[in-house]
Structure 1
Amino acid sequence: MLLEEVMQQLEEYGTEQNRKTYKNHGAKEPLFGVSFANLKLLKKKIKKDHDLAISLWKTKNMDAMTLATMILDPKKVTTEQLNKWVQEVDYYCLMDVLMTAICTSPIEIERMEEWTKSDDEWIGRAGWSLLANIAIKN
């Protein structure tokens, strides 16, 4: 699928109630308010598409960024890319789905060790969330 098609589908799936709920939990605009059930439908349709994931993340739309975590290829994620993405996250739900997505990446252990030592709230959360996901996977 093309970026424009995915963004249109996300917009169609969005609801006012979900936008309100996500904002109440700390999500910021822009967002469409797409349920995780609908995000999973798109994930199933797209499968893995790392280039599309990068494009979705660049939109800064919360729903697009969340979908990006679901379709990225963890084996293709670079340290530079991951550090940049973690620094851009300020919503706990997005951070947690990102850490779930990358817990099978070849670079996850070194990132986890660095991030858990961080004094920054969000980077520290990334490290601890990643640690939890690694423990669950093993």
Structure 2
Amino acid sequence: MTETTADEVLAELASLDDPQFRKVNAKHGDDHGVNLGKLRAIAKRLKTQHDLARSLWATGDTAARLVALLICRPKAFGRDELDSMLRDARAPKVHDWLVNYVVKKNPHAEELRNSWSADPDPVVASAGWALTSERVTKSPDTLNLSGLLDVIEAQMKDAPGRLQWAMNHCLAMIGIEHAEHRPRALEIGEHLEVLKDYPTPPNCTSPYAPIWINEMVSRQPAS
């Protein structure tokens, strides 16, 4: 049985490209037209193939990079390699999957979180804040939550879009997960009014932090 090549995967992805999906994805900054269910099916069939993943990433093709992130070995990437990949991840979906499916599972995640959070590139910084939100939820012991709230209060209002979104998510997670910081998190959200008017579909929770925090806390079991 011959191994699948990057060119074969690219050809299959090209055959699945749908102009309607491409049009919808373009609104979110993603330049591909492959249904994600079909893309995931390709990755499921390929299973884990780290060398192929590297080859697909090297093509620069957005759909191919999404497949790469699903078939790679997250722990096999070096710190500098992940840093380069993030800075080269232009499409928002590639950026999100790289952070959530790969970096979070990599042994260099904490080191990258620290360096990315203070990066002058707001898109890179947003990845650092996404990793911080993960720690706020799962391993907050050594985090300075008050310090994080200080930074959010001072910088979130004027932060560029993706960075603002990531900082707002962190604000909400602090408010939801840590009752002792909840009043201040709510106060910051109410004062800054970030995403207050964000259009939210019916039956979905608003990303406006005070609404988000109160809604999720109301769902928590009584202690």
TM-score scaled to structure 1, two decimals? 0.88
**1:107 corresponding residue in structure 2:** 108
Q: Does residue 1:118 correspond to 2:119, yes or no?
A: yes
Superposition deviation, residue 88 in structure 1: 0.7
Matched with 1:10 is: 13
Q: Which residue of 2 aligns with 1:35?
A: 35
What does 1:53-132 align with in structure 2 at a 5 Å threshold?
A: 53-102=53-102, 103-132=104-133
Percent of residue pairs bearing the same amino acid type: 28
Q: CA RMSD in A?
A: 1.8
Write the letter of the residue equivalent to 2:119: S
Asked if the contact 2:21–2:35 (Cα under 8 Å) also holds between the matched residues in 1, the reply is yes
Greater relative contact order (CA < 8 Å, ≥ 6 in sequence): 1
Instruction: Using the TM superposition, give the Cα deviation of residue 95 of structure 1 relative to its aligned residue in structure 2, in angstroms.
Output: 0.8
SS in structure 1 of the partner of residue 10 of structure 2: helix
Offset of residue 134 of structure 1: 5.5
Residue type at the aligned position of 2:11: Q
Q: Once the 2 structures are TM-superposed, how far is the Cα of residue 131 of structure 1 from its aligned partner? A: 3.2
Question: For residue 123 of structure 2, what is the amino acid of its counterpart?
Answer: W
For these two proteins, the number of residue pairs brought into alignment is 135
Contact 2:62 2:91 in 1 (8 A): no
Instruction: Give the distance between the partners of 1:119 and 1:56, measured in 2 at CA.
Output: 29
Contact 1:112 1:130 in 2 (8 A): yes
Asked if 2 retains the 8 angstrom alpha-carbon contact of 1:115 and 1:127, the reply is: yes
Residues 56 and 64 of structure 2 are in contact (CA less than 8 Å); yes or no, is this contact kept in structure 1?
yes
Q: 2-side partners of 1:60 and 1:136: how far apart? A: 33
* SS of 1:25 mapped into structure 2: coil
Q: SS of 2:76's equivalent?
A: coil
Give the match for residue 22 of structure 1: 25
Long gaps (5+) in structure 2: 140-223
5+ long unaligned stretches in structure 1: none
Measured at CA, do residues 104 and 134 of structure 1 come closer, stay the same or move farther in structure 2, by a change above 3 Å?
A: farther
Aligned-partner Cα distance in 1 for 2:50–2:105:
15
> Deviations 1:67-100 (Å, cap 9, x if unpaired)?
1111110111111211111111222221111111
